[in-house]
Structure 1
Amino acid sequence: MSFKSDATEPHDSSEENEELEQAKVAAERQSFLETEARRRQVVPRAALLGVFVGLLAVAFRMALEFLDHARSTQFAHWQTLGALGFTLCVLWSALGAGAGVYLVKKFAPEAGGSGVPHLKGVLLGLNTLRPIRIIAVKFLGGLLALGSGMVMGREGPTLQMGGSVGGLAARFLRSDNRTRQILIASGAAAGLSAAFNAPLAGLIFVLEEVQRDFDPAMFAAAMMASLVADVVGRLISGSSPAFGVEIATPHLEALVAYAVLGVACGLAGVAFNRAIMWGSNPDARWQKMPLPLLGLSVGAIIGGIGFFAPNLLSAGHGLTEALFSLGESPALAASAKKLLWLIPALFTLRFAMTIGSYSTGAAGGFFAPILALGAQLGLLVAVSTQFLAPGLPIHPQNFAVVGMAALFAASVRAPLTSIVLIIEMTNGYTLILPLLTACLCAYGTADVLSDLPIYEALLERDLERRSHQEKALAS
């Protein structure tokens, strides 16, 4: 009997292994079929979602461009009126910023700032999404705050509004939780794509930073939504890249200088992140001010600066274009000594204005301000290199472009998004090697200093604060 039992045991074990293997293959096949079915179902919805998000992004952009033009025109006129004009500039910015902050704090606090950490929390199941309220408050609050001249960008808000449109679509279509996640992430990708005219960057940012999910259905839906939103934006606003800059062919000899730029951007990115966390700390004294007072105060300072230097206000697109033009100018070398103190002064002022604006909790992000700061840092490194090593083949406008990507990579810790975004915004395909060098050095520097990516740090703090509040209420 024992011989029989020993003889049948290997046979039974082999059959069990074969059955387990067949079950595993069947489960994998079923999972594949379900994923394919979901992909076929969600991609057409993502295309329609891209249309709506593209239209919303274009409307937001055009409204802001109108307000920016109106503010610039008025400030230029008021500069001729002396003290009265100064007062009017201060009132314009103070009232706009104050009203924008009040709208956010009163009706949708989650619409404050860029909205990216909140959207990450939604996709992780840690935050709730109130799509209609967020879209309304983000749109109107963003117009008020950004139109006042606050040094913030529209790209983060457009991303959060796009994700909210995706959430609204999921609710309307009664989608399951997984499809809802896909539509929210696809809407976010479409928002960033339409904001920057950068469909690949929109897709990659969501996969690299917001969702971090390379599921085939997610990938296909986000890609479709980004593409359609970008096409809608280009049909209405034109197909020109975001920045018009003449990229020069880079030289391998200059890669060391690009590496230095990357390290500088890594240090600046860490400083920027810590300043953002410090300025927006809910326990800080200035955050305890009565509801509209912080927005009014920061807005008044912004308006006062705008009276003397209106080009320093808002996201900084015009300022960055001016830096590119300066970098392309043959006369740049002649004014190197002057620029060596002028650019750091400009960088410091814009840095402080960005931190102050974001600390108010207004509906605006720091995508564009980071890019402007990176361009300034890039130009500074280029001018310094020309001054210290005159024989090195340096193209300052190239350094300004690469600086934008490197500072963004250091702050957000999304190097692939940084590289693709800048290439799409400038048509700077020839800069791929300097971009890789600088972004890798910036990323590594920030990582060595143990600095958390800014969106993760903001989300963690929000969750910790909410946990403490819940415990206090429970006790």
Structure 2
Amino acid sequence: MLAIVVVGVLTGVVGAVLTLVLHGAQHVVFGAGGTSFAEEVRLASPTRRLIGMTLAGVVIGLVWWQLRRRLRIVRVREAVGADATRMPLRSTAFDATTQIVAVGAGASLGREGAPRQLAAAVAETVAARLGFDALHRRVLLASAAGAGLAAVYNAPVAGILFTAEIVLVTMDYVAIATAALTCCIAVVVAWPVVGWDAVYQLGTHRTESGVWVWAIVAGPVCAVAGTWFNRLMEAARRGEPTRPAHLLPVRVTAAMALVGLVAMFLPGVTGNGKSVLEALVGRGGLSAGVLVALLIAKPLLTAACLRGGLVGGLITPSMATGGALGALVALALGHDDGGVTVMVCAMVGAAAMLATTQHAPIMAGAFMLEVSQAPPTLWGPVVVAVAGSWAAGRVMHRIMVVRTQ
């Protein structure tokens, strides 16, 4: 119990500190004139977007090059895997900080990777100090990783499900109880910085017939789109340097500059994709042309960042892609840009896409409902969409297995 409380508190601190670092990086690169990341990017001149992100890429690339030359980086998946590789705290802290700075500077990656990784490293240190055996260490590290996600998004239920459904792949009640307590403590500790309001404010909303039509169709559509999204990211990662290379700073700078170049004309491609979802759920909406551009550019630039050697999460980039797809469907059904149905269709599309890309339908549905604090009237379409995505994914997997035999 002592270890759970300590790790929960420290993870909340990690989430709060990394959130402050994220905001600091975006203020330096884009300016501090807006009330949100999206507004700061829009208020920054196109030239500043390009130059600021390019210069940030130079610094980030040099830091990562030196870090990978001198220290070993261990990911959460390796630490909780069969080999149980230990996570060194110092190198993990440097790597996680660089990750969050890159996202704040506009890299097209999710911010959740850094707090998950650093929280797990903190848990590793606590487990070692208390002499935990392999099983209890694994549960504590996985719970800390889920709590890191929960802390930065104010989403304790999603953090619990992330631990159980993705990291540990278990329904063991002890592991779930450990994750639950760790996530709840971390979220509360991070509240003074992260806040307790919904990440995405839906405002007034209702469920129209068009939403149910899209919820039914979203499953198979997002299963296909999410599968291609994952394949694109896997192909990009295969190009990531397997060892420290002197070209890493050049590759990172080029990737950041590419995002900055596109951001001169399409600001929504910057960052983790939150700005896209914010625009779709009640801050003015986006035109069909912009949605099509984002639907194409966001995954391609995310892949370019991975190819360039940057590291980060994929949760919000995939959600932004699914949200843009859902909003396009709403417009095709005849609903006005920025209207209520566009918001809800975007939310449904984001949940269905996340269910496919993370192979975790329960966590995806809970995460979308939690970060938007959606009322029960909107639970049905989200449940239908993620269930359809899961079912379509199973069918696609079986077809692929049959074809390979």
TM tier relative to shorter chain: 0.7 to 0.9
Deviation digits for residues 395-453 of structure 1, max 9, x if unmatched? 111111111111000111100001111111001132211011111222222333229xx
Deviation digits for residues 208-232 of structure 1, max 9, x if unmatched? 1100233332222111100100111
1:226 alignment partner AA: C
2:345 alignment partner AA: F
2:4 corresponds to = 46
- Mean CA deviation greater in 159-168 or 253-262: 253-262
For the Cα contact (< 8 Å) 1:370–1:408, is it kept in 2?
yes
Any idea what SS the aligned residue of 1:267 has? helix
Are 1:419 and 2:365 matched, yes or no? yes
1:189 corresponds to = 146
Are 1:281 and 2:238 matched, yes or no? yes
Are 1:386 and 2:334 matched, yes or no? yes
For the Cα contact (< 8 Å) 2:155–2:370, is it kept in 1?
yes
1:27 corresponds to = none
Residues 449 and 106 of structure 1, relative CA distance in 2, 3 Å threshold? farther
In the alignment, the residues of structure 1 paired with residue 142 and residue 31 of structure 2 have an alpha-carbon distance, to the nearest angstrom, of 38
Q: Using the TM superposition, give the Cα deviation of residue 247 of structure 1 relative to its aligned residue in structure 2, in angstroms.
A: 5.1
Q: Output the TM-score relative to the length of structure 1.
A: 0.74
Residue 68 of structure 2: which of 105, 110, 127 is its match? 105
Q: Using the TM superposition, give the Cα deviation of residue 261 of structure 1 relative to its aligned residue in structure 2, in angstroms.
A: 2.1
For the Cα contact (< 8 Å) 2:227–2:357, is it kept in 1?
yes
Are 1:450 and 2:393 matched, yes or no? no
1:301 corresponds to = 258
1:25 corresponds to = none
Q: Using the TM superposition, give the Cα deviation of residue 121 of structure 1 relative to its aligned residue in structure 2, in angstroms.
A: 3.3
Paired residues for 1:26-65 under 5 Å = 43-65=1-23
- Mean CA deviation greater in 427-436 or 133-142: 133-142
Any idea what SS the aligned residue of 1:449 has? helix
1:89 corresponds to = 52
In the alignment, the residues of structure 1 paired with residue 148 and residue 240 of structure 2 have an alpha-carbon distance, to the nearest angstrom, of 32
1:219 corresponds to = 176
Residue 344 of structure 1: which of 282, 292, 312 is its match? 292
1:156 corresponds to = 113
1:472 corresponds to = none
2:201 corresponds to = 244
Are 1:71 and 2:29 matched, yes or no? yes
- Mean CA deviation greater in 437-446 or 86-95: 86-95
Residues 101 and 272 of structure 1, relative CA distance in 2, 3 Å threshold? farther
2:347 corresponds to = 401
In the alignment, the residues of structure 1 paired with residue 206 and residue 44 of structure 2 have an alpha-carbon distance, to the nearest angstrom, of 44
Residues 70 and 214 of structure 1, relative CA distance in 2, 3 Å threshold? same
Q: Using the TM superposition, give the Cα deviation of residue 324 of structure 1 relative to its aligned residue in structure 2, in angstroms.
A: 1.5
In the alignment, the residues of structure 2 paired with residue 429 and residue 153 of structure 1 have an alpha-carbon distance, to the nearest angstrom, of 26
Residues 240 and 273 of structure 1, relative CA distance in 2, 3 Å threshold? same
In the alignment, the residues of structure 1 paired with residue 319 and residue 249 of structure 2 have an alpha-carbon distance, to the nearest angstrom, of 29
Are 1:124 and 2:81 matched, yes or no? yes
2:102 corresponds to = 145
For the Cα contact (< 8 Å) 1:358–1:365, is it kept in 2?
no
Higher helix content, 1 or 2: 1
Q: Using the TM superposition, give the Cα deviation of residue 237 of structure 1 relative to its aligned residue in structure 2, in angstroms.
A: 3.1
Larger radius of gyration: 1
1:402 alignment partner AA: V
Q: Using the TM superposition, give the Cα deviation of residue 250 of structure 1 relative to its aligned residue in structure 2, in angstroms.
A: 1.4
Residues 86 and 419 of structure 1, relative CA distance in 2, 3 Å threshold? closer
2:388 corresponds to = 441
Unpaired runs of 5+ residues, structure 2, are 33-40, 399-405
In the alignment, the residues of structure 2 paired with residue 68 and residue 369 of structure 1 have an alpha-carbon distance, to the nearest angstrom, of 17
1:48 alignment partner AA: V
Paired residues for 1:12-27 under 5 Å = none
Residues matched between the structures, number = 387
Any idea what SS the aligned residue of 2:333 has? helix
What root-mean-square deviation, in Å, do the aligned CA atoms of Structure 1 and Structure 2 show? Answer: 2.9
Any idea what SS the aligned residue of 2:305 has? helix
2:356 corresponds to = 410
Q: Using the TM superposition, give the Cα deviation of residue 137 of structure 1 relative to its aligned residue in structure 2, in angstroms.
A: 2.4
1:167 corresponds to = 124
1:114 corresponds to = none
In the alignment, the residues of structure 2 paired with residue 173 and residue 120 of structure 1 have an alpha-carbon distance, to the nearest angstrom, of 22
In the alignment, the residues of structure 2 paired with residue 100 and residue 442 of structure 1 have an alpha-carbon distance, to the nearest angstrom, of 40
Any idea what SS the aligned residue of 2:198 has? coil
Q: Using the TM superposition, give the Cα deviation of residue 294 of structure 1 relative to its aligned residue in structure 2, in angstroms.
A: 1.3
Unpaired runs of 5+ residues, structure 1, are 1-42, 112-117, 333-338, 452-475
In the alignment, the residues of structure 2 paired with residue 78 and residue 253 of structure 1 have an alpha-carbon distance, to the nearest angstrom, of 37
Q: Using the TM superposition, give the Cα deviation of residue 155 of structure 1 relative to its aligned residue in structure 2, in angstroms.
A: 0.7
Residues 308 and 154 of structure 1, relative CA distance in 2, 3 Å threshold? same
Are 1:357 and 2:301 matched, yes or no? no
Any idea what SS the aligned residue of 2:278 has? helix
| Aligned-pair identity (%) | 24
1:466 corresponds to = none
In the alignment, the residues of structure 2 paired with residue 57 and residue 320 of structure 1 have an alpha-carbon distance, to the nearest angstrom, of 21
1:438 alignment partner AA: A
In the alignment, the residues of structure 2 paired with residue 92 and residue 226 of structure 1 have an alpha-carbon distance, to the nearest angstrom, of 36
1:44 alignment partner AA: L
Residues 64 and 54 of structure 1, relative CA distance in 2, 3 Å threshold? same
